[in-house]
């Protein structure tokens, strides 16, 4: 994939087709779903978006770099992965949790993410606060990466979880007494995190359909967590599966629900009403099923039943389609780093599953870019093609717009210099 870096010193003109739904300026000039435009970049920001008149000469600022996207490709906003774990390796994942991660390994992972067309990620927490390590690495003038090709990193630091429950690798010790919560959140804010991660349920069972483990915090406790987080200006993302765990989080007013397996229609409707977003993460369960199919065994640890995984995935895809239809804001999150979820293929596979759920290519692209940038608090920089925003774009083939069930990623990415 080609990577184009946009500097602040030199102007750039990008010429190519754009989808009308992503253009916030001059979209009235685009007739039909898409049209060829000239995007002028000055001082690192989108300066103008013009639909050239028929027969008009190609104008370009003096000394500007020029990028021409092939005519059978379309420019859309770059992708955003709402849920990754930079500390994990994407092979064994939490099965062999080893940390901390070296800067060199983080650089390699961040570059793979960018080459998937992903311009920003939200790290879902770990014991070592690897997300903050990556964010600081991106923002520094690091000689190991002089070209500055990094995705932006939104951090959650160490996750909050109840002692004796799932979440040990996500945090730094469980909550023993609820009174500890405010101090924990204050420490996270001081550490510079962007959002708060709360673990509200266990993992999805791979042997018993619908089993996830009990909710960790009561409704009153979750509401108090959201209230305290709000005092520190921290949106709350919640790891939650099971209808009970998710409904508690939604009623408490969290920002996003991660995973969200086995939700009822009533809970989905409540999410739409309260404007709580959902990041479904199909990829980790799908990766476990693929492992079983390849090995011809009940998983590497003998604790996986393929029929349970198949049923779990199908139910999840049905709920994704339903959520989109009733107005729940969806984001794409891969859980990249988890067993079998790679840094590059993982995002494309997640998009493929949304297509399998019955969502159109245009809707999937909007979820992957506009929605993701909103959930990460980055709408002012990316997520649309708009004057004043930074040039975070990817180009994809028109063929991909017909059917994304086999989507194999963008052909190019255009990003500003640095994070």
Helix (H) or strand (E) holding 288: helix 283-295
Question: What's the pLDDT tens digit per position in 295-350?
Answer: 765 554 557 889 999 999 999 999 999 999 999 999 999 999 999 999 989 999 99
How many angstroms separate the Cα of 247 from the Cα of each of 87, 148, 160, 262, 275?
29, 42, 18, 11, 13
Helix (H) or strand (E) holding 31: none
Q: What is the spatial distance between Cα 354 and Cα 10, in angstroms, rounded to a whole number?
A: 39
Quote the DSSP letter at residue 2.
E
Q: Which residues lie across from 16 on neighbouring strands? A: 37
Whether residue 260 is predicted with pLDDT greater than 80 in this model: the reply is yes
Greater pLDDT, 213 or 130: 130
pLDDT at 157: 95
Q: What percentage of the chain exceeds 90 in pLDDT? A: 78
How would DSSP label each residue in 311-355?
A: HHHHHHHHHHHHHHHHTPPB-----BTBTT--TTHHHHHHHHHHH
- How are beta strands 412-416 and 2-6 bridged, if at all? parallel
Question: What's the pLDDT tens digit per position in 143-153?
Answer: 454 455 689 99
Sequence-ordered list of residues with C-beta below 8 angstroms from that of 136, at least 6 positions apart, any chain: none
Q: Domain 99-375 adopts which CATH fold?
A: TIM Barrel (3.20.20)
pLDDT at 151: 92
How would DSSP label each residue in 177-245?
A: STTHHHHHHHHHHHHT-SSEEEE-S-PPPSSSTT-----SS-HHHHHHHHHHHHHTT--EEEEE-SHHH
Structural domain 2-77+383-416, CATH architecture: Roll (2.30)
Quote the DSSP letter at residue 125.
-
Greater pLDDT, 417 or 207: 207
The runs of H, that is alpha helices, within 40-158 are: 103-114, 130-139
What is the separation, in whole angstroms, between the first and last Cα of the chain?
19
pLDDT at 298: 58
pLDDT at 271: 98
Whether residue 142 is predicted with pLDDT greater than 70 in this model: the reply is no
Q: Which residues lie across from 239 on neighbouring strands? A: 199, 258
Whether residue 276 contacts residue 254, with contact meaning beta carbons closer than 8 Å, is answered with yes
pLDDT at 143: 41
Average pLDDT, the chain: 91
Question: What's the pLDDT tens digit per position in 47-96?
Answer: 999 988 765 545 555 567 899 999 999 999 999 999 999 999 988 877 77
What's the mean pLDDT in 257-285? 98
Report domain extents, the chain. Answer: 2-77+383-416, 99-375
Q: What is the spatial distance between Cα 15 and Cα 267, in angstroms, rounded to a whole number?
A: 44
Question: What's the pLDDT tens digit per position in 159-175?
Answer: 999 999 999 999 999 99
């Amino acid at each position: 994939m080609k990577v184009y870096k946009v500097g602040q010193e030199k102007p750039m003109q990008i010429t190519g087709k754009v989808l009308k739904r992503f253009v916030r300026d001059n979209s009235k000039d685009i007739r039909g779903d898409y049209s060829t435009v000239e995007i002028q970049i000055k001082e690192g920001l989108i300066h103008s978006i013009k639909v050239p008149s028929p027969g008009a000469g190609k104008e370009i600022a003096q000394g500007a770099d020029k990028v021409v996207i092939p005519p059978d490709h379309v420019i859309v906003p770059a992708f955003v992965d709402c849920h990754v774990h930079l500390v994990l390796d994407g092979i064994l994942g939490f099965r062999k949790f080893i940390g901390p991660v070296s800067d060199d390994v983080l650089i390699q992972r961040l570059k793979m993410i960018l080459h998937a067309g992903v311009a920003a990620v939200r790290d879902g927490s770990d014991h070592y606060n690897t997300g903050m390590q990556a964010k600081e690495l991106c923002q520094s003038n690091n000689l190991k990466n002089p070209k500055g090709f990094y995705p932006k990193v939104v951090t959650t630091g160490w996750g909050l979880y109840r002692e004796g429950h799932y979440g040990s690798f996500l945090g730094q010790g469980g909550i023993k007494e609820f009174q500890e919560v405010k101090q924990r959140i204050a420490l996270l804010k001081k550490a510079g995190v962007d959002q708060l991660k709360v673990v509200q349920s266990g993992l999805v069972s791979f042997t018993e359909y619908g089993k996830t483990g009990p909710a960790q915090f009561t409704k009153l406790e979750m509401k108090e967590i959201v209230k305290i987080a709000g005092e520190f200006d921290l949106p709350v993302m919640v790891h939650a599966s099971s209808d009970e765990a998710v409904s508690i989080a939604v009623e408490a007013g969290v920002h996003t629900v991660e995973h969200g397996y086995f939700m009822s229609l009533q809970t989905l409707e409540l999410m739409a009403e309260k404007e709580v977003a959902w990041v479904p993460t199909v990829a980790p369960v799908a990766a476990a099923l693929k492992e079983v199919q390849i090995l011809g065994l009940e998983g590497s640890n003998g604790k996986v039943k393929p029929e349970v995984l198949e049923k779990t995935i199908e139910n999840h895809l049905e709920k994704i389609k339903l959520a989109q239809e009733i107005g729940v804001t969806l984001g794409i999150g891969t859980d990249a780093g988890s067993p079998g979820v790679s840094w590059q293929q993982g995002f494309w596979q997640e998009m493929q599953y949304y297509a399998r759920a019955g969502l159109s290519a245009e809707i999937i692209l909007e979820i992957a870019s506009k929605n993701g940038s909103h959930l990460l608090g980055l709408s002012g920089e990316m997520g649309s093609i708009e004057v004043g925003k930074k040039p975070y774009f990817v180009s994809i083939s028109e063929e991909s717009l017909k059917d994304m069930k086999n989507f194999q990623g963008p052909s190019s990415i255009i990003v500003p210099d640095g994070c």
